[in-house]
Amino acid sequence: MDEKVEHIIERDEKALGSSMKIRLFPLVAESAKQNIITDVDGKEYVDFTANWGVASTGYCHPKVVESIKKQAEKNTFSSYTTVLTESGVELAERLIELVPGDFEKKVWFGLSGSDANDCIAKMVPLATKRNRIISYFGAYHGQTMGSLSMSGHTAQAKFVGSGNVVKIPYPYCYRCAFNKNREDCKLDCLQFLEEHVFKTVCPPEDTAVIIVEAMQCDGGDVVPPAEYMEELEKICKKYGILLACDEVKIGIGRTGKLFGFEHFNLTPDAVVFGKPIASGMPLSGVVARKEVLDAGIATHLFTTAGCPVSTAAANATLDVILNEGLIQNALEMGEYI
Ligand SMILES: Cc1ncc(COP(=O)(O)O)c(C=O)c1O
């Protein structure tokens, strides 16, 4: 390890708690451009990780930087809870336009994927007057109490979450929970949902929402069979259960479509986004049926959410992703890799 890197790592070990760390390599960033991170000793790294899927526009894209600078010179902060900004409204309108669904939608802004998934955990039960939630083994929805309750990941196995969440197996055909092969299976995992889960611990008439990653990321990068997702939507419709897609990691162009669920014939009632939306400035959000996000005034809000620097960064990020061929590039590179 070079001298400066080593010294800063020693200081970090003393000063910062391990609860906020996943340290996979000794990297202390000084600057970053496009896909290159330069450390404090001048060593360059090609970033194949996109920093946990956030750096979809690369580092310091000139359009994003310009938009942040312009906004920061005017005003670095006002709380969207009370003082609205044009860039916030513009971003919300664009998201409503971009998310499919022939029904009235609204937008909620937060700071991280976790608080956005908490929005689902709180607002859908409130809106539907049904208190149960279904989520998946292997799911990762975040670290706050609502989102960790819906997660089924080993990372949160040490915590006891909220008791209203029932978890079902993800359609992971390579390691099928029902020991089936795709060829001899009749979507047994969905039969399990209807025949066992609904008939025992989670009556469908009490179930507000099923939250799913249209491709399970931290659970192993699992792509479900298309029929599963489509049948799941039918089951939701049959019982009046809302379907929420967590797009925090696969959304905003990463999979070669704007949203990962667009690989399936699916129209979710709520879409959760985060990570790359503002090129790393803190911003997350939910686009959902109007009645979900209007279910109660001041029921899920964060003081710094929707801050103008973040919404300005997000508008520029969307411009770059939509207008500079990044989605097509993701598709082509995905095929190639
Ligand atoms: C699918 C998914 N949802 C939610 C989250 C939580 O996002 P955040 O870490 O920004 O709170 C993550 C983070 O990795 C994620 O991958």
pLDDT tens by residue, 54-79: 999 999 999 999 999 999 999 999 99
Rg (C-alpha) for the chain, rounded Å, is 21
pLDDT tens for residues 29-46? Answer: 999 999 999 999 999 999
Q: Of 25-29, 179-183, 204-208, which gets the smallest average pLDDT?
A: 179-183
pLDDT value at 231 more than 80: yes
The atom of ligand 1 lying closest to the CA of 139 is 1
Query: How is residue 310 written in tokens?
Result: 């973040």
Which helix (H) or strand (E) covers residue 336, if one does? helix 326-336
The domain locations on the chain are 3-48, 65-336
| pLDDT at position 248 | 98
Report the candidate in 322, 301, 283, 326 with the shortest Cα–Cα distance to residue 71.
283
Band the pLDDT of 238: cuts 50, 70, 90.
Answer: very high
Query: How much distance in Å is there from the Cα of 328 to the middle of ligand 1?
Result: 24
| pLDDT at position 2 | 82
The atom of ligand 1 lying closest to the CA of 115 is 11
Query: How is residue 19 written in tokens?
Result: 């609860």
Spatial distance between the Cα atoms of 313 and 276, rounded to a whole number of angstroms: 10
CATH level 2 (architecture), domain 65-336 = 3-Layer(aba) Sandwich (3.40)
Q: Distance between alpha carbon 141 and the CA centroid of its chain, in Å?
A: 7
| pLDDT at position 183 | 87
274 lines ligand 1 (CB under 6 A): yes
Residue nearest to atom 7 of ligand 1 (CA): 113
Query: How much distance in Å is there from the Cα of 257 to the middle of ligand 1?
Result: 19
Mean pLDDT for the chain overall: 97
Query: How much distance in Å is there from the Cα of 310 to the middle of ligand 1?
Result: 17
Taking CA 51 as the corner, what is the angle to CA 311 and CA 246, rounded to the nearest 5 degrees?
Answer: 60
- Cβ–Cβ under 8 Å, residues 321 and 57: yes
